[in-house]
């Protein structure tokens, strides 16, 4: 009998492929002929068995009880079609009309072990992809040389809801425009036409080669994920190869850049950065960026558009101390403009993810109040150390308790718990951390698929008394998820502190991993609920005072995912709130609004948000070279004006141009090289190297370390709350 490996304590928001460890490089891929037809694939009996096993688990153990009927079949069909061609760029209207006969038959096929329909759709996709890539290769270079870049043409970037093309000629025109746009982007990157034609020919030939290498496992993976995602976006099927990647993702002690990726159309998108990982430290790779190329050290960058996710992951992984160069489309780029960044691969160390403290000073009349800040990047625990009975094993709660006691000795007046970008981690640590600030009582409720509700923690696991009973604020943003939402929700429900910042991610489900004969199934089996009875699912935690945010909620967050489980409520747990802040919120919000109206950093953030919103709304881009250049210049000018407006208000030196990507890339590479060298020494030498590095920072580095505006404003809000609630100006009891 198969055993279930439960990962209840692993509550991170994403469980996609993660970039750790070194893997072998690719074998030589045979070159596919341009006009060679794609060879149709068929499924195996082993895959049939896995599909039946998956279906049995989905129908019997998934949190959201669904029946296998025509409604579910239709949902699977839509998700499958979208996963194959979400931009309506490959299939013809006639293809989709032909597929429609399968809409209400996929459920029957799953029951009978007949996968003919999904494989027929998959094989047609591979045929259409082959045709599109062959078309592009035939355009290069001779026909592409005749493209008129003075002509006023537009390329639509938002094609999810456009009508399917009715003819091959329509698709040819779309792909001609796409090719023209690729050439234009490379021209604007100062590449010569002959080099551009050579680069693009290699790109499309590589994609064609990989299309012809696609096997039955690829088709089965795509279809089964459509089946599982019809239940919810965190339920997934892992092939044996992706099972290996998933298991690597569950460990944070391996080497790589520390990023979690997923496929979006033809691109590889950054879903999350691992706190304290190399990519996070470098500061150049951001959530929702798209990776278009990968290079090793000083070697030529390999174009990875259209590659399978596991292939891109393999190419980015590598040994500690080596450099990987990524060509990316930044998430805020509206014209597919790319830039190249460098990241030195390293090991993600548990100690580097540890909570940190600092003290900020908030003027209050003739006084200056000291607010302690505890930054928690993730909810971590040394599982092995705990299992071995070590007295000094590391954990979030142990580290935070130590930091709180140190802050109390420094006579701080309040504490801010900074959970920005904290994607979750250990559920036990979320419970234990809450116990430091709330004296006994439930923290979270877990409702299982059978309706049973478990209230956590159990009384026997709680300590009497608390470590800190002074004023608290919790700072969140859109990337605060899972365990972060449990902690923030409990602090809010108990009235123990005020929540400030951005609406959290909304990942309130619990997954378990079930072994199959062929691969694994990650299955949602429970939901988290706050002690108030509100779910953290979908809605997340809404702060008492909201800050402006640059995160696009349409792309980032649980609500942006297809088939996300809904927000709902259950009966509240038996808890007693310490205080109700509702009566003071209007005054706090008014004071906050009054401050930020003249705060240069908040004005800057507001202006940045307006600019990004405007750029996101431009779904068509011009293929006229002069107009494209002018649009880019205007965009850079707007960004420079926004930055200099902030600098002028703060008395800083104005810039004549924004820092170039190349300059920041070189500076980052230098710092990462020094860091890699320092890591080879012992702890003392490492600390000395860090100290020396800080002392030699240039002026631009010092400017980069100006006070965190969001943190300072959170401190002001906390001080306002202390004044309204008549809390003594010292929390030392």
* Active site residue ranges: 482, 493, 507
**Gap between the Cα atoms of 623 and 153, Å rounded:** 5
**Gap between the Cα atoms of 51 and 12, Å rounded:** 27
Residue for token pair 């297809």: 562
Residue for token pair 């995602």: 229
**Gap between the Cα atoms of 624 and 147, Å rounded:** 11
Contact 277, 421 (CB under 8 A): no
Among 264, 70, 53, 266, which residue's Cα sits nearest to residue 175?
266
**Gap between the Cα atoms of 707 and 377, Å rounded:** 19
Cα angle at 710 between 709 and 711, to 5 degrees? 90
For 562-622, give the secondary structure using H, E and C.
CCCCCCCECCCCCCCCCCCHHHHHHHHHHHHHHHHCCCHHHHHHHHHHHHHHHHHCCCEEE
Q: With the C-alpha atoms ordered 604, 610, 611, 613, is the resulting torsion angle positive or negative?
A: positive
**Gap between the Cα atoms of 724 and 465, Å rounded:** 26
Contact 343, 275 (CB under 8 A): no
- Strand 414-418, strand 367-375: pairing: parallel
Contact 487, 422 (CB under 8 A): no
3-state DSSP assignment of residue 260: strand
Q: With the C-alpha atoms ordered 420, 424, 429, 430, is the resulting torsion angle positive or negative?
A: positive
Helix, strand, coil proportions of the chain in percent (round to 5)?
45, 15, 40
- Give the number of other CB atoms < 10 A from CB of residue 642: 18
- Strand 520-530, strand 509-515: pairing: antiparallel
Which helix (H) or strand (E) is 632 found in, with range? helix 625-649
**Gap between the Cα atoms of 620 and 645, Å rounded:** 29
- Give the number of other CB atoms < 10 A from CB of residue 598: 9
Among 20, 84, 34, 496, which residue's Cα sits nearest to residue 261?
20
**Gap between the Cα atoms of 403 and 415, Å rounded:** 11
Please enumerate in sequence order all residues whose Cβ is within 8 A of that of 142, keeping only pairs 6 or more positions apart, or say none.
none
Burial of 98 (0-12, 13-18, 19+ CB in 10 A): middle
Please enumerate in sequence order all residues whose Cβ is within 8 A of that of 694, keeping only pairs 6 or more positions apart, or say none.
none
Question: Could you give the C-alpha distances from 450 to 62, 443, 526, 531, 573, in angstroms and in order?
Answer: 9, 21, 9, 20, 18
β-pair partners for 472: 415
β-pair partners for 270: 261
**Gap between the Cα atoms of 546 and 475, Å rounded:** 10
Contact 20, 258 (CB under 8 A): yes
**Gap between the Cα atoms of 562 and 100, Å rounded:** 21
**Gap between the Cα atoms of 34 and 137, Å rounded:** 7
Structure tokens at 113: 């072990």
């Amino acid at each position: 009998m198969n055993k279930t490996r439960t990962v209840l304590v692993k509550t991170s928001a994403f469980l996609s492929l993660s970039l750790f460890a070194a893997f072998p490089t690719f074998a030589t891929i045979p070159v596919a002929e341009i006009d060679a037809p794609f060879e149709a694939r068929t499924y195996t009996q082993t895959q049939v068995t896995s599909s039946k096993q998956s279906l049995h688990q989905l129908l019997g153990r998934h949190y959201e009880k669904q029946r296998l009927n025509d409604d579910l079949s239709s949902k699977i069909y839509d998700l499958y079609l979208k996963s194959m061609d979400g931009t309506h760029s490959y299939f013809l209207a006639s293809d989709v009309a032909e597929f429609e006969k399968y809409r209400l038959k996929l459920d029957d096929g799953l029951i009978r072990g007949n996968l003919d329909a999904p494989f027929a759709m998959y094989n047609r996709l591979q045929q259409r992809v082959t045709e599109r890539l062959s078309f592009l290769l035939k355009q290069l270079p001779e026909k592409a040389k005749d493209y008129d870049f003075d002509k006023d043409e537009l390329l639509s970037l938002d094609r999810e809801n456009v009508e399917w093309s009715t003819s091959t000629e329509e698709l040819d025109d779309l792909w001609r425009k796409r090719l023209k746009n690729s050439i234009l982007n490379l021209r604007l990157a100062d590449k010569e036409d002959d080099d551009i034609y050579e680069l693009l020919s290699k790109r499309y030939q590589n994609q064609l080669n990989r299309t012809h290498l696609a096997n039955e496992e690829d088709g089965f993976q795509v279809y089964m994920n459509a089946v599982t995602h019809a239940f919810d976006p965190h339920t997934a099927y892992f092939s044996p190869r992706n099972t290996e990647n998933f298991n690597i993702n569950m460990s944070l002690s391996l080497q790589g850049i520390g990023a979690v990726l997923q496929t979006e159309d033809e691109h590889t998108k950054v879903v999350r950065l691992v706190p304290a990982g190399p990519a996070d430290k470098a500061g150049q790779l951001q959530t929702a960026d798209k990776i278009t190329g990968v290079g090793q050290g000083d070697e030529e960058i390999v174009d990875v558009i259209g590659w399978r996710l596991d292939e891109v992951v393999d190419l980015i992984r590598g040994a500690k101390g080596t450099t990987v160069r990524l060509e990316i489309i930044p998430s805020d780029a509206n014209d597919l403009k790319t830039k190249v960044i460098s990241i030195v691969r390293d090991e993600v160390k548990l100690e580097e993810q540890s909570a940190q403290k600092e003290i900020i000073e908030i003027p209050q009349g003739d006084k200056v109040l000291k607010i302690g800040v505890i930054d928690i990047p993730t909810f971590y625990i040394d599982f092995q150390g705990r299992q071995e009975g070590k007295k000094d094993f590391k954990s979030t709660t142990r580290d935070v308790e130590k930091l709180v006691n140190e802050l109390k000795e420094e006579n701080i007046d309040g504490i801010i718990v900074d959970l920005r970008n904290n994607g979750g981690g250990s559920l036990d640590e979320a419970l234990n951390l809450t116990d430091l600030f709330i004296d006994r009582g439930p923290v979270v409720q877990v409702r299982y698929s059978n309706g049973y509700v478990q209230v956590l923690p159990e009384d026997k696991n709680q300590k009497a008394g608390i470590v800190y009973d002074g004023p608290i604020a919790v700072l969140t943003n859109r990337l605060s998820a899972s365990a972060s939402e449990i902690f923030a929700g409990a602090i809010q429900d108990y009235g123990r502190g005020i929540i400030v910042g951005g609406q959290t991610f909304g990942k309130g489900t619990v997954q378990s991993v079930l072994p199959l004969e062929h691969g694994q199934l990650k299955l949602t089996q429970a939901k988290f609920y706050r002690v108030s009875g509100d779910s953290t699912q979908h809605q997340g935690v809404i702060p008492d005072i909201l800050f402006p945010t640059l995160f696009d909620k349409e792309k980032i967050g649980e609500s942006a995912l297809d088939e996300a489980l809904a927000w709902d409520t259950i009966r509240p747990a038996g808890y007693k709130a310490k205080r109700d802040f509702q009566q003071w919120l209007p005054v706090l919000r008014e004071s906050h609004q009054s401050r930020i109206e003249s705060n240069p950093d908040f004005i800057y953030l507001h202006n940045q948000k307006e600019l990004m919103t405007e750029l996101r709304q431009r779904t068509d881009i011009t293929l006229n070279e002069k107009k494209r250049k002018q649009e880019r210049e205007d965009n850079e000018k707007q960004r420079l004006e926004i930055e200099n407006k902030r600098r002028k208000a703060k008395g800083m030196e104005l810039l004549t141009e924004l820092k170039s990507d190349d300059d920041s890339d070189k500076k980052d590479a230098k710092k990462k090289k020094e860091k890699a060298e320092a890591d080879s020494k012992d702890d003392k030498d490492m600390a000395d190297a860090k100290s020396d590095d800080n002392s030699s920072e240039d002026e631009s580095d010092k400017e980069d370390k100006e006070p965190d505006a969001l943190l300072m404003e959170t401190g002001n809000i906390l001080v306002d709350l202390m004044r309204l609630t008549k809390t003594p100006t010292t929390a030392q009891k």
